[in-house]
Amino acid sequence: MQIIGRNTTSPKASRGKSGIRPDIDDSICFYSTWEANIARVLTLMNINWQYSPKIFDLGKHTYRPDFYLPDSNLFLEVKNYMNDYSRERDRLFRQKYPNIKLEIISKEKYKQLESVFKPLIYKWE
């Protein structure tokens, strides 16, 4: 079985809990608990999703959004904190791919989702 995703090598991201969540999918290695929880929310809501299916060339950077929702033709990026690198990458993506829909799930949005869905999802992390 091919594993989608990988353990992170980024020092900042490595503080998150990367790994496979068998309750979601044995073939996906999520970078963080937040990504795993968003996958659980999408699944609970019966929203068709794919994990990191596409890499976008941004010139000096590449960008792989966390989720793709094919029925909505929408990419989702789960972001706790937007540092300079993240803001630059987001700007380049939107400049180079203006017709591709991308939504950032910020810390504030995640916390709102958590308050609603954590009581409903047994394996919430």
Instruction: State how far the Cα of 122 lies from the Cα of 105, in Å rounded to an integer.
Output: 22
Choose the CATH number for 4-120 among 1.20.140.10, 3.40.50.10480, 3.30.200.20, 3.40.960.10.
Answer: 3.40.960.10
pLDDT in tens, 60-92: 888 999 999 999 999 999 998 889 988 999 999
Instruction: State how far the Cα of 119 lies from the Cα of 94, in Å rounded to an integer.
Output: 35
Amino acid identity at 2: Q
HSE, side-chain direction, 13 A CA sphere, residue 100: 22
Burial of 55 (0-12, 13-18, 19+ CB in 10 A): exposed
* pTM, full prediction: 0.87
Domain boundaries, the chain: 4-120
pLDDT in tens, 93-116: 999 999 999 999 999 999 999 999
